[in-house]
Chain A
Amino acid sequence: MLRKKSLALPVLHHLYLFLMMLTLAGILSAAAWLQYAGREIPCPLCLLQRLAMFGVAYGIIVNFRHGYSARNDGVSMIFALLLLIISVRQTLLDIYPRPGHEYIGSAIFGIHMPVWSILIATALLIAFALKFVVFGNERLADARRFPALASASKWLGFYMVALCVENFVSVIVQCGLGACHTWGYLLLG
């Protein structure tokens, strides 16, 4: 009974982190779907927002792969803050439509991507704050003690790494070594 109780908190903690990574994987997969199936070429600030989400995922992946550390959460929170700053600035840039400045891409539920990014960044920061409130700084067991969760997180982490490498290749094709533009893929003519 005591053993079950002592394991419940670490399991919940790692499940919480897993769900956060799953959400990020869903968002970044949807972005890839819109880019390739919807033929929507991402703008430079959109790419930087994707990068910030990969930065948040980095902290979670390392937590699962090599044991939990609050330092990794700190790294994730820095990138969540970067995501918030970039998305707020982009929203303010495009909030008053004028030549060369308007929201680009599809609106999902009537909301454009930079505004979604503000909501995502805020949700991530709230999620980390709640995590600290609920789980505190108790010594949490290594995720590798829970085989099913460890296996699922391993594959999800691998998917996130692969998705980042795919974005890297996509950026090479879109931007080459210069500035990025939304009118086409530079290397595809």
Chain B
Amino acid sequence: MMVAVFAAMSAALVFGWLGRRREATACLVLSLVLATGLFLWEVYSPEYGFRMPWIQVERALDPLPKS
């Protein structure tokens, strides 16, 4: 998948360099879509989903002193 993302970006840069605007735009959009999909796949955890429970402070279990 990462190979496809970089292939699309490399193609976009080469087409952009050569002035072939339409092909460059198509490759750039493809690269953006693939990169977004890959990013979501990388950060998804079967255990937590997209949540990040390790940065919760659990204030409910440790209330502040009243005084």
Q: Which A positions have Cβ atoms within 8 angstroms of B? A: 44-45, 47-48, 51-52, 54-55, 57-58, 61-62, 65-66, 75, 78-79, 82, 85-86, 89, 92-93, 95-96, 98, 157-158, 160-161, 164-165, 167-168, 171-172, 175-180
Contacts and interface: CB of A to CB of B under 8 A. Distances in A.
Q: Taking chain A's interface residues, is the majority helix, strand, or loop, or is none over half, making it mixed?
A: helix
Given A65-B19, A164-B6, A177-B3, 10 more contacts: A45-B43, A51-B6, A57-B13, A58-B9, A93-B43, A96-B55, A157-B17, A164-B9, A168-B3, A171-B3
Nearest to A92: B52
Contacts of A47: 2, 6
A61 B17 contact: yes
Interface of B: 1-3, 5-7, 9-10, 12-14, 16-17, 19, 21, 24, 28, 31-32, 35-36, 38-39, 42-43, 52, 54-55
A178 B55 CA distance: 30
A24 B1 CA distance: 24
A167 B10 CA distance: 9
Contact of B9 (A51, A85, A92): A51
Contact of A55 (B2, B32, B38, B39): B32
Contacts of A176: 3
Contacts of A164: 6, 9-10, 13
Contacts of A98: 54
Contacts of A57: 13
A45 B39 contact: yes
A62 B5 contact: no
B13 A58 contact: yes
